[in-house]
């Protein structure tokens, strides 16, 4: 029996993870669940899965729902220290990190130090603090990738010799604006950007997919997870989102993982690894799909991808700064404060404000904090829509 905590249980990944867990009640127990505001769904989930520890980040929601949880004998907490305490509960084996942004950073580090397993959906943590997490990580033992591309790469690398890898090829759908010109990109609306052609996901990652920053973050995530140099990691646009990523070996063989765009598959694979369990999810029929296409990404139209690769190669605090600036800029776009193309433009400006430092957890947290502050200043000085 694996005893699981889900950070972000009311979101896209969190809800799909509970769907998977529900299929195998003899294998999983849910110990604790965390969300931001959605107390009513969180309470429903706690009741259904007999969960005794819950967390709501939003102070007002916490106050609003505290008595409801108490009436069911559920200990509802609030405050960032409590999120760390939750993952460190003695009867917890593994934690699914599914909160967007760097909220999961300290819980992830503390959980790994305490000998727990991390099921990593939250790529921002790896991007911001890869330098701190990789020394604590044993891939396939205490850390399992959930992100669909990284799950695919993990599967395509299984049993192989890492020094014989020539290239990791990471697929990208291209997002809703794959065929847009720069002129068209200037005035895209929030709802257009939230209309992902293949995946139904939370708003932050959906905007990242539209700018292609998501692929940039995933390249950095792959670099840290698989310890492969950036020169050997290549994005390719694949609008159908059927081939989830590929590994090319030194003999020219290319091994890929395919499946329908359904996050329950990589979630299940991570949670049950190394086993594969039968399920009734819809199956891929290549004949029905008919055509799979691939194209090169355009780094000029999608500047965020270029910036992320540059920040990854620069290393040091640059991935941390890239991620923090992007988080703030995406939020500003989602609240109508900046235009779509300004997301990458602002991230570039913020990156230019930083110089390398000696890396440790403190300097990473400080870079994250300062990058957010500087980004807000750039946004404050910009136009309002």
Output the known binding site for 1-deoxy-D-xylulose 5-phosphate: 123, 148-149, 173, 196, 209, 214-215, 218
Q: CB neighbours of 373 closer than 8 A, spacing ≥ 6?
A: none
List of residues 6+ apart from 313 with CB closer than 8 A: 230
Smallest gap from Cβ 178 to Mn ion, in A, equals: 16
CA dihedral of 84, 86, 87, 88, whole degrees rounded to 10: 80
The verdict on 147 binding Mn ion (CB under 5 A) reads yes
The DSSP secondary structure of 357-378, one letter per residue, reads: ---SHHHHHHHHHHHHHHHHHH
Residue located via tokens 């694996």? 2
CB of 157 to ligand NDP, least distance (A): 19
Distance CA 264, CA 24 (A): 13
Axis-axis angle for helices 213-226, 340-351 (nearest 10) = 50
> 14 and 6 in contact (C-beta within 8 Å)?
yes
The residue among 201 and 305 lying less far from ligand NDP, judged by its C-beta, is 201
Shortest Cβ 351–ligand NDP spacing (Å): 20
For the CA atoms of 177, 236, 347, 303, the dihedral, rounded to the nearest 10 degrees, stands at: -60
| CB-nearer residue toward ligand DXP: 61 or 148 | 148
- 8 A C-beta contact, residue 328 and residue 375: yes
> Interface with ligand DXP by CB under 6 A: which residues?
147-149, 172-173, 175, 199, 205, 209, 214-215, 263
Residues forming a β-bridge with 130: none
Which of Mn ion, ligand DXP, ligand NDP, none does residue 124 bind (CB under 5 to 8 Å by kind)? ligand NDP
Angle between helices 213-226 and 318-334 (to 10 degrees): 150
Which of Mn ion, ligand DXP, ligand NDP, none binds 209 (CB below 5-8 Å, type-dependent)? Answer: ligand DXP
Least distance CB 3 / ligand DXP (angstroms): 26
CB nearer ligand NDP, residue 165 or residue 217: 217
Choose between 117 and 248: whose C-beta lies nearer to ligand NDP: 117
Cα–Cα distance measured from residue 328 to residue 375, given in angstroms and rounded to the nearest whole number: 7
Residues at the site binding ligand NDP, with contacts judged by CB under 6 A: 8-14, 34-38, 57, 98-100, 103, 121-124, 147, 199, 201-203, 205, 263
Run of H or E residues at 148: helix 148-157
Nearest approach, Cβ of residue 208 and Mn ion (Å): 9
215 contact choice in ligand DXP, ligand NDP, Mn ion, none (CB below 5 to 8 Å, kind-dependent): ligand DXP
Q: Which residues contact 285 (CB under 8 A, 6 or more apart)?
A: none
| Residue ranges of the binding site | 10-13, 36-38, 122-124, 147-149, 173, 196, 202, 209, 214-215, 218
Task: Please name which of 247, 68, 81 lies closest in space to residue 157, comparing C-alpha atoms.
Answer: 247
131 binds, among Mn ion, ligand NDP, ligand DXP, none (CB under 5 to 8 A by kind): none
Q: How many CA atoms lie within 13 A of 101 on its CB side?
A: 18
Instruction: Summarize the annotated binding site for Mn(2+) as residue ranges.
Output: 147, 149, 218
- Residue 126 beta carbon to ligand DXP: minimum distance, rounded to whole angstroms: 13
Q: Please report, in angstroms and rounded to a whole number, the separation of the first and last CA atoms in the chain.
A: 52
**Residue among 76 and 243 whose Cβ is closer to ligand DXP:** 243
Nearer Cβ to Mn ion (149/331):
149
Shortest gap between Cβ of 313 and ligand DXP (angstroms)?
20
Nearer Cβ to ligand NDP (261/315): 261
Binding site for Mn ion (CB under 5 A): 147-149
């Amino acid at each position: 029996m694996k005893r699981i905590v889900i950070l972000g249980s009311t979101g896209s990944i969190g809800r799909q993870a509970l769907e998977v867990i529900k299929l195998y009640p003899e294998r999983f127990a849910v110990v604790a669940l965390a969300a931001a505001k959605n107390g009513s769904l969180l309470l429903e989930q706690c009741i259904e899965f007999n969960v005794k520890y819950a967390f709501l980040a939003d102070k007002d929601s916490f106050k609003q729902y505290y008595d409801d949880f108490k009436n069911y004998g559920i200990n509802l907490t609030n405050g960032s220290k409590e999120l760390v305490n939750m993952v460190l509960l003695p009867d917890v084996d593994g934690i699914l990190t599914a909160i967007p942004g760097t909220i999961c950073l300290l819980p992830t580090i503390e959980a790994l130090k305490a000998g727990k397993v991390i099921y990593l959906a939250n790529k921002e943590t790896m991007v911001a603090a890869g330098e701190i997490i990789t020394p604590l990580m044993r891939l396939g033992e205490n850390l399992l990738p959930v992100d669909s591309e990284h799950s695919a790469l993990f599967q395509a690398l299984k049993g192989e010799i890492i020094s014989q890898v020539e290239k990791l090829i990471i697929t990208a759908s291209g997002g809703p604006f794959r065929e847009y010109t720069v002129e068209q990109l200037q005035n895209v609306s929030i709802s257009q950007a939230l209309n992902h052609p293949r995946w139904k996901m939370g708003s932050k990652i959906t905007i990242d997919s539209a700018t292609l920053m998501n692929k940039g973050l995933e390249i950095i995530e792959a670099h840290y997870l698989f310890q492969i140099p950036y020169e050997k990691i290549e994005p390719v646009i694949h609008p159908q989102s059927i081939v989830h990523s590929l590994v090319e070996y030194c003999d020219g063989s290319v091994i890929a993982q395919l499946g329908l765009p359904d996050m329950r598959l990589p979630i299940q694979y991570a949670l049950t690894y190394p086993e594969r369990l039968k399920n009734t999810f819809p199956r891929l029929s290549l004949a029905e799909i008919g055509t799979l296409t691939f194209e090169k990404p355009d780094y000029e139209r999608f500047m965020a991808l270029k910036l992320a690769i540059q920040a990854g190669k620069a290393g040091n605090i640059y991935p941390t700064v890239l991620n923090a600036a992007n988080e703030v800029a995406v939020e500003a776009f989602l609240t109508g404060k900046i235009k779509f193309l300004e997301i990458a433009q602002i991230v570039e400006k913020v990156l230019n404000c930083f110089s390398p430092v000696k890396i440790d957890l403190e300097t990473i947290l400080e870079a994250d904090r300062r990058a957010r502050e500087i980004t807000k200043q750039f946004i404050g000085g910009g136009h309002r829509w």
